[in-house]
């Protein structure tokens, strides 16, 4: 009568389940013959859209996926300085219209084909002619292979951001043998420090890599294996962290920082994005009030930036009133105190401009950032400006902003290096200048930055920054802290100019 079969089965399952706990808790330490640690496990908040560089090459939060399998022409170290990588030397001609790159001659792709000047030209052309997000940065440039180790890049006018571009997504070099293969979207061939293990990889969720045995720079590689897990949900990331299932994790919610530090993890940070108002309609086409610089200045005086930082980011980040980042040659700390929080003074300024009773303005809002929008409306209401919010619907925020459908908006934007930032937010044809605002003084500064000597460009950048703050083209609130957490076994030096750390800047603690 004793049901021994059922009992035995139950005991067997229980035993298996308990031995399963041996599978939990992976860590990154443990030596090997190569002197490297066994595995680095990272979590990212988003995966690559495609491993074909013509479709999906992108840095930001997608950088580790591309850095793992591809090399870039130049590299940035942990201090954000540009160093030789696939290109050992680079030099401009007299008028900065031709850049000549000298390549290494000892690099092969993981399928054995040679990485030579033709491969580099092919990759650059593929990026330029494709639809990856930054494809336009190589528009209008011509590439040529002078000999097996020399490449020239020719452009009509100087481009101060070109060298920087070659150290990020546009500089990724893909094996030409995969150019015509649609599977290259998920099965990349590059020359990078790791090779994708397609059998163990689950696209969109887990990417597993093994160290490239023929890598030309083995000293830079500190791990035999790399796993990157895509976890979008911040709670799941936190759980993975606490259960010891990762060595490094990108943290999106800064208010979880105390909890993370309490679990024995270390926080590294940089400041890459700013949040604030973009006062687009400086000519007053849609909102005539914004044409008056006094109105825009008054808006800048309406915000208690310290309080906003505390309320919205738990105090993590830095108050700012300029759109240029602290790493820029144009940055001036003094500019951050141009406008005091002074609602009364703002109202006086509005009255001087002819709006003693204030006015109303149309802006967008989305539920995801409701607290921010409520606070913005409240602070503007305090100086007499009534905000009429419209929800543009899911996915239309940026499209409607750039249409343009609104004279001003709140936004979180990246503070790119200078020339990129100018073409992103300031120049008349910049993406985030939808009304194509133009100012002869701004044009003059931009021209000097592009065509002048290094000293002239640096001075012009400072002058441009100061001018934009004084002319109140924007009303920045603060720079947001970008946060990355590492466990007790892992060292990280977080580079300052990208959302995700460089995979070369992780190392095991021994």
Partner 1 sequence: MLAFIFRRLLSGVILIAVISFLAFVLLYASGGDIARRILGENATAETVAKKTEQLGLDQPLLQQYWNWVTGALSGNLGRSWFTGELVSTSVSNRLAVTLSIVIGATLVSAIVAVVLGILAARRGGWVDGSVQVVSLIGFAIPGFLIALGLVLVFAINLGWFKATGYVPATTSVAGWLSSVTLPIVALSIGAIAAVSQQVRGSVIDAMSRDYVRTLRSRGLAINSVVYRHVLRNAGGPALAVLAVQFIGLLGGAVIVEQVFAIPGMGQLTVRATTLGDIPVVMGVVIAFAIIVVIVNLLIDLAQAALNPKVRLS
Which of residues 7, 32, 235, 370 is near partner 1 by CB under 8 A? 235
Phi, psi of 86 (to 5 degrees): -70, -30
Q: How many CB atoms lie within 10 A of CB 203?
A: 14
Buried b (16+ CB within 10 A) or exposed e, 292-329: bebbbbbbbbbbbbeebbeebbeebbebbbbbbbebbe
Q: Please say which residue, 135 or 267, places its beta carbon nearer to partner 1.
A: 135
* 197 touches partner 1 by CB under 8 A: no
* 50 touches partner 1 by CB under 8 A: yes
Q: Please say which residue, 268 or 273, places its beta carbon nearer to partner 1.
A: 273
Which of residues 239, 360, 386, 388 is near partner 1 by CB under 8 A? 239
Contacts (CB under 8 A) with partner 1, residues 162-191: 182, 185-186
User: For residue 503, what are the CA distances in angstroms to 26, 73, 104, 497?
Assistant: 19, 16, 21, 14
Q: Please say which residue, 24 or 262, places its beta carbon nearer to partner 1.
A: 24
Contact 138, 127 (CB under 8 A): yes
Query: How many Cα atoms within 13 Å fall on the side-chain side of residue 53?
Result: 30
Radius of gyration from C-alpha coordinates of the chain? 26
- Least distance from partner 1 to the Cβ atom of residue 393, Å: 7
What is the maximum alpha-carbon separation in the chain? Answer: 97
* 135 touches partner 1 by CB under 8 A: yes
* 368 touches partner 1 by CB under 8 A: no
Binding mask 288-307 for partner 1 (x = CB under 8 A): --------------------
Give the span between the Cα atoms of 85 and 106, in whole angstroms. 12
* 9 touches partner 1 by CB under 8 A: no
- Least distance from partner 1 to the Cβ atom of residue 402, Å: 7
* 25 touches partner 1 by CB under 8 A: yes
Chain-centre distance for alpha carbon 133: 12
Q: Is residue 34 exposed (0-12), middle (13-18) or buried (19+ Cβ within 10 Å)?
A: middle
Per-residue DSSP letters for 88-146?
A: EEEEE-TTS-EEEEEE-SS-B-TTS-B--HHHHHHHHHHHHHS-STTGGGGTT-EEEEE
Q: Please say which residue, 420 or 481, places its beta carbon nearer to partner 1.
A: 420
Which of residues 314, 319, 402, 451 is near partner 1 by CB under 8 A? 402
* 261 touches partner 1 by CB under 8 A: no
SS3 helix, strand, coil % of the chain, rounded to 5?
35, 25, 40
Which of residues 3, 5, 20, 33 is near partner 1 by CB under 8 A? 20
Which of residues 7, 431, 441, 447 is near partner 1 by CB under 8 A? 431
Site size for partner 1, by CB under 8 A?
A: 59
Which of residues 267, 413, 464, 492 is near partner 1 by CB under 8 A? 413
Which of residues 27, 40, 42, 48 is near partner 1 by CB under 8 A? 48
Contact 341, 304 (CB under 8 A): yes
- Which residues of this protein are in contact with partner 1, per CB under 8 A? 16-25, 47-52, 55-56, 58, 60, 131-136, 139, 182, 185-186, 200, 202-206, 229, 231-233, 235-236, 239-240, 242-243, 245, 393-396, 398-399, 402, 413-414, 424, 431-432
């Amino acid at each position: 009568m004793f049901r021994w079969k059922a009992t035995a089965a139950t005991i067997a399952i229980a035993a298996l389940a308990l031995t399963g706990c041996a599978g939990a808790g992976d860590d990154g330490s443990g030596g090997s013959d190569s002197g490297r640690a066994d595995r680095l496990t990272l979590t990212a908040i988003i995966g690559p859209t495609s491993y074909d560089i013509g479709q999906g090459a992108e840095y930001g939060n997608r950088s580790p996926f591309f850095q793992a399998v591809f090399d870039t022409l130049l590299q940035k170290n942990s201090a954000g300085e540009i160093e030789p990588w696939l290109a050992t030397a680079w030099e401009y001609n007299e008028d900065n219209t031709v850049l000549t790159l000298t390549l290494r001659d000892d690099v092969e792709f993981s399928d054995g084909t040679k990485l030579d000047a033709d491969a580099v030209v092919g990759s650059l052309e593929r990026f330029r002619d494709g639809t990856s997000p930054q494809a336009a940065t190589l528009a209008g440039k011509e590439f040529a292979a002078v000999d097996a180790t020399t490449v020239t890049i020719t452009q009509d006018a100087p481009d101060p951001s070109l060298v920087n571009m070659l150290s990020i997504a546009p500089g990724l070099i893909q094996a030409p043998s995969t150019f015509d293969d649609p599977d290259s979207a998920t099965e990349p061939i590059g020359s990078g420090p790791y090779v994708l293990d397609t059998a163990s990889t689950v696209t969109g969720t887990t990417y597993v890599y093994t160290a490239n045995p023929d890598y030309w720079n083995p000293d830079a590689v500190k791990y035999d294996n790399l796993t990157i897990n895509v976890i979008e949900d911040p709670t799941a990331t936190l759980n993975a962290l606490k259960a010891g299932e990762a060595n490094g994790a990108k943290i999106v919610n800064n208010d979880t920082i105390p909890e993370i530090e309490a679990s024995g993890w270390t926080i590294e940070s940089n400041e890459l994005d700013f949040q604030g108002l973009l006062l687009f309609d400086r000519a007053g086409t849609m909102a005539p009030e914004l044409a008056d610089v006094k109105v825009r200045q008054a808006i800048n005086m309406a915000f208690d930036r310290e309080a906003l930082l505390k309320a919205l980011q738990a105090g993590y980040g830095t108050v700012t009133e300029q759109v240029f980042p602290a790493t820029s040659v144009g940055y001036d700390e003094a500019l951050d105190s141009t406008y005091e929080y002074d609602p009364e003074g703002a109202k006086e300024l509005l009255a001087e401009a002819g709006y003693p009773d204030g006015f109303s303005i149309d802006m967008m809002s989305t539920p995801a950032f409701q607290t921010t929008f409520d606070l913005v409306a409240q602070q503007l209401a305090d100086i007499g400006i009534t905000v009429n919010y419209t929800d543009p619907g899911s996915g239309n925020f940026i499209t409607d902003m750039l249409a343009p459908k609104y004279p001003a908006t709140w936004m979180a934007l990246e503070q790119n290096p200078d020339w990129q930032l100018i073409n992103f937010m300031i120049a008349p044809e910049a993406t985030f200048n939808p009304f194509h605002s133009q100012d002869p003084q701004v044009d003059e500064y931009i021209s000097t930055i592009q065509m002048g000597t290094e000293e002239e460009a640096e001075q012009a950048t400072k002058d441009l920054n100061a001018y934009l703050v004084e002319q109140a083209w924007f009303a920045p609130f603060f720079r947001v802290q970008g946060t990355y957490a590492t466990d007790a076994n892992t060292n990280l030096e977080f580079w300052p100019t990208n959302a995700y750390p460089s995979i070369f800047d992780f190392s095991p603690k021994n």
